[in-house]
Amino acid sequence: MQNPHPTSRRARRAGPLKGRATIPGDKSISQRAIILGGLAEGETRISGLLESGDVQSTAGAVRALGASVTREGPGAWRVAGAPWMSPHQPLDFGNSGTGSRLVMGAVAGQGISATFIGDASLISRPMARVLDPLKAFGATYEGQGPKALMPVTVHGAKGTKAADVVVTTASAQVKSALLLAALGAEGVSHIRQATLTRDHSEKMLAGFGAKISVTPEGSGQVIAIEGPVKLKACAVEVPRDPSSAAFPLVAALIVPGSEIELPNIMLNPRRTGLIETLLEMGARIEIVNRRVTGGEEIGDLVVRHSQLRGIEVPASRAPSMIDEYPILSVAAAFATGTTALRGLEELRVKESDRLEAVARGLKLNGVPHTIESDDLLVQGMGQDGVPGGGMVPTHMDHRIAMSFLTMGMASQLPVTVDDVTMIATSFPEYEGLMRDLGAVLE
């Protein structure tokens, strides 16, 4: 019989997961490589690029701004930078918060104007968090309402002066937008951030020849960046995405008898909060062959089925695992005891309100939990105790879809998610890869 809902998917228990899986390139680094390549003089060659919906949206926008972005083979892309010009049409970023927010910063820095649009998820996400700080570099904008929802038009200013900006949101996107804006301002700008977030922009800007230095300050850092600068093209080798690896990783931990290998995963310390947390929960994750490639630490993960136990996950760890809370909540459901996930306010402004979406998914599958302010407490039901049987609304959120499919791989009854199309925004290979490991998705 044909599936009456072709975009829904049901995951059910099957045998152990076994084998070696090739995770695609990191989304954050892929996005930045296209944007910086588009701004730079010369030809940027990228290998291992993530070829997902979000990255395609950014590539389309960077083309519309004047650069040439071409695919030369699987994961092999060439970006020929050019002076950016105000595009005639709105830039459509689809589902991509990162692409749109970083390009807003770059548009401000280039002193041009552009209109930004996106899908139903993206147009409900706040852009004021990026646009208000960009005023320090002379940018103005028009958006919808106090949160500056899309459609948003950004007007960069020419000949702006360097600025000192304090980033109050624990967001790498906001920091990165400011750094890209500072590229066009005259003098040394200082971007201060009280919380350390992923540092791919700082590292890659240095690789593209920006004059940038980072100094620790309290629990955060201050970045000094000098403008105006013309970036120089360089080669970018994209490491594999730890946020995508998280899904097969947790699946192997909760499906009895599993043992899988995930080679060449990026282990940048600002991205490894999930692994750290799972190890504290008793996960059998071995990291072998640690090395540095293209400026990033990488390693091979060997993951075995494990009996997990509930722990306290401090709010201070949130930036290093911000995209991993949905899948961590699933791991917590299969643990013994309660797992307390603290300080999740940023989850409310992701592709969906992830705190609500996770709570709903847990409820629909019989997992007791409570939300206390911005904390989520998941009452673990043990490795065989998660009832499942729910139909989970994913709210156009790829990570909600993959998280609850993972739950269904080990719960008593199958778990259905209403829509898997959004998975292609970050991990188009997900279903095939999971089936190759032995998962049943129907």
Active site residues: 323
* Helix, strand or coil, per DSSP, at residue 390: coil
Which is nearest to 266 in space by CA: 275, 257, 258, 255?
275
If one asks whether residue 189 binds ligand S3P (CB under 6 A), the answer comes out as no
If one asks whether residue 171 binds ligand S3P (CB under 6 A), the answer comes out as yes
Distance CA 439, CA 415 (A): 13
Which is nearest to 366 in space by CA: 380, 347, 350?
380
If one asks whether residue 339 binds ligand S3P (CB under 6 A), the answer comes out as no
If one asks whether residue 58 binds ligand S3P (CB under 6 A), the answer comes out as no
- Give buried/exposed letters for 229-249 (b at 16+ CB in 10 A, else e): bebebbebbbbbbbbbbbbbb
Distance CA 214, CA 211 (A): 10
Question: Minimum distance between the CB of residue 245 and ligand S3P, rounded to whole angstroms?
Answer: 14
For residue 2, give Cα distances in angstroms to 6, 7, 144, 180, 349. Answer: 8, 12, 42, 49, 36
- Give buried/exposed letters for 342-361 (b at 16+ CB in 10 A, else e): bbbebbebbbbbbbebbbbb
Candidates 84-92, 114-122, 169-177, 205-213; binding stretch for ligand S3P (CB under 6 A): 169-177
Question: Minimum distance between the CB of residue 188 and ligand S3P, rounded to whole angstroms?
Answer: 23
For residue 277, give Cα distances in angstroms to 42, 246, 271, 437. Answer: 42, 12, 12, 24
Candidates 13-21, 39-47, 166-174, 377-385; binding stretch for ligand S3P (CB under 6 A): 166-174
If one asks whether residue 277 binds ligand S3P (CB under 6 A), the answer comes out as no
CB-nearest residue to ligand S3P: 28
If one asks whether residue 352 binds ligand S3P (CB under 6 A), the answer comes out as no
If one asks whether residue 176 binds ligand S3P (CB under 6 A), the answer comes out as yes
91, two tokens: 């830039």
If one asks whether residue 399 binds ligand S3P (CB under 6 A), the answer comes out as no
Nearer to ligand S3P, 194 or 391 (CB): 194
DSSP string, 267-310: --GGG-HHHHHHHHTT-EEEEEEEEEETTEEEEEEEEE----B-
Task: Pick the binder of ligand S3P from 28, 30, 56, 411 (CB under 6 A).
Answer: 28
Task: Pick the binder of ligand S3P from 202, 324, 346, 429 (CB under 6 A).
Answer: 346
Question: Minimum distance between the CB of residue 62 and ligand S3P, rounded to whole angstroms?
Answer: 15
Distance CA 249, CA 356 (A): 24
Residue 74, C-beta contacts closer than 8 angstroms, at least 6 positions apart: 51
If one asks whether residue 172 binds ligand S3P (CB under 6 A), the answer comes out as yes
If one asks whether residue 165 binds ligand S3P (CB under 6 A), the answer comes out as no
Give the number of residues in contact with ligand S3P, rule: CB under 6 A: 11
If one asks whether residue 398 binds ligand S3P (CB under 6 A), the answer comes out as no
Is the CB of residue 160 less than 8 Å from the CB of residue 112?
Answer: no
If one asks whether residue 49 binds ligand S3P (CB under 6 A), the answer comes out as no
Distance CA 180, CA 163 (A): 13
Nearer to ligand S3P, 98 or 406 (CB): 98
Candidates 59-67, 170-178, 267-275, 390-398; binding stretch for ligand S3P (CB under 6 A): 170-178
Candidates 105-113, 168-176, 254-262, 290-298; binding stretch for ligand S3P (CB under 6 A): 168-176
Distance CA 219, CA 199 (A): 15
10, two tokens: 């049901």
Question: Minimum distance between the CB of residue 130 and ligand S3P, rounded to whole angstroms?
Answer: 9
* Helix, strand or coil, per DSSP, at residue 146: coil
Task: Pick the binder of ligand S3P from 44, 95, 96, 98 (CB under 6 A).
Answer: 98
Task: Pick the binder of ligand S3P from 198, 240, 354, 369 (CB under 6 A).
Answer: 198
Task: Pick the binder of ligand S3P from 36, 322, 359, 378 (CB under 6 A).
Answer: 322
For residue 317, give Cα distances in angstroms to 176, 253, 272, 311. Answer: 20, 21, 9, 13
If one asks whether residue 317 binds ligand S3P (CB under 6 A), the answer comes out as no
Nearer to ligand S3P, 35 or 417 (CB): 35
Candidates 66-74, 132-140, 171-179, 262-270; binding stretch for ligand S3P (CB under 6 A): 171-179
Which is nearest to 395 in space by CA: 168, 106, 95?
95
Q: Which residues bind ligand S3P (CB under 6 A)?
A: 28, 98, 171-173, 176, 197-198, 322-323, 346
